[in-house]
Amino acid sequence: MEGSLAARAKGEHFHTVTPLLESWALSQVAGTTVLLKCENVQPTGSFKIRGIGHFCQEVARKGCRHLVCASGGNAGMAAAYSARKLGIPVTIVLPEGTSLQVVRRLQGQGAEVQLTGKVWDEANLRAQELAKRDGWENVSPFNHPLIWEGHASLVQELKAELGTPPGAVVLSVGGGGLLAGVSAGLAEVGWQHVPIIAMETQGAHCFNAAVQAGRLVTLPDITSVARSLGAKTVVARALECTKEFEIFSEVVEDAEAVSAVQRFLDDERMLVEPACGASLAAIYSGLLQRLQAEGCLRPSLAPVVVIVCGGNSIDSRQLQALRAQLGQS
């Protein structure tokens, strides 16, 4: 308890400043210097701790007595970690298909875990129900200004390290929290002109569907293996961002995302989820070069930052199974 009180009193961030590493292998593929913002080494295995840690600290300060979070897994890990640091009980609601490994890790953080519904949207209904209890607070994985504010710290770190703006930032979009946060960060540091390449997989492409339609669209189902991108509707703020920032919305097939995960493992010896593979596929599938060829991006680009968002829901056996499912092995 002493540690938690200390953390609360000091208001220290729960996230760490992550390395920005130049990737020789990805730079070779892209024909442009590629820098990896390694969010996979955050305490909870993904960037989520930035925004969710910030959100949880704020609601704890206001007297919240129990946290509840519906999650594809990674937001839940961040909420469970934050709750433990703050000394507050936490309930994580996950879709039924979530791997046992993720459930165990959450329980290891002291979280109560409930499994319900086929996809995140269904688990979220249960979380909203629980959050009506007195003193309980719902932690959205992506839909809150405090979460975006927390994610924006990632861009502050880029600014501190690079000084000058990157040629583009590549990131993955699930519910759109990372996109909203990075956009906010770019505006804060005066880099609002930096192009953002917003990656999704087919079957979890709610942002792309919204961009195409010019309004929010709810997907009928999540069919992609990138479960952590599996929100049926993107946050309204993400769509608004398209009016204020230069955002290219791109969709790759599951096979490209999973193949990118495998190549990244071999190239950089880091294992990430298909949700992150979607961003890596922007390089490995030649999408960056295509955008350059089409005149969307300059032919001679400043270093491109790929946000390696990470993820917990992957191990060597799961990767093998995904590759077999997609006919890659």
CB of 302 to ligand PLV, least distance (A): 24
Nearer residue to ligand PLV within complex by CB, 231 or 301: 231
Query: Using CB under 6 A as the criterion, which residues of the chain lie in contact with ligand PLV when the complex forms?
Result: 46, 48, 71-75, 120, 141-142, 172-179, 228-231, 273, 275-276, 309-311
Name the one residue in this structure whose structure tokens are 């080494």. 41
Nearer to ligand PLV, 81 or 142 (CB): 142
Q: Shortest gap between Cβ of 310 and ligand PLV (angstroms)?
A: 5
> Min. distance of Cβ 164 from ligand PLV in angstroms?
26
CA dist 162 and 169 (Å) reads 13
Alpha helices in the chain (DSSP H): 2-10, 24-30, 48-61, 74-86, 100-108, 120-130, 145-151, 153-162, 177-188, 206-213, 236-244, 254-268, 274-284, 287-293, 316-325
- Is the Cβ of residue 42 or residue 292 nearer to ligand PLV in the bound state? 42
Q: Which is nearer to ligand PLV, 48 or 84 (CB)?
A: 48
Q: How far apart are CA 141 and CA 139, in angstroms?
A: 6
Whether the CB-CB separation of 287 and 250 falls below 8 Å is answered with yes
Cα separation, 204 vs 233, whole angstroms: 9
Query: Minimum distance from CB of 265 to ligand PLV (Å)?
Result: 15
Which CB sits closer to ligand PLV, 53 or 311? 311
- Min CB(195)–ligand PLV separation in Å: 18
* Ramachandran angles phi, psi of 274, nearest 5°: -55, -30
Q: Which is nearer to ligand PLV, 119 or 158 (CB)?
A: 119
The angle at the Cα of 143, spanning 140 to 148, to the nearest 5 degrees, equals 110
**Shortest distance in whole angstroms from residue 201 CB to ligand PLV:** 11
Write the single-letter amino acid at 228: S
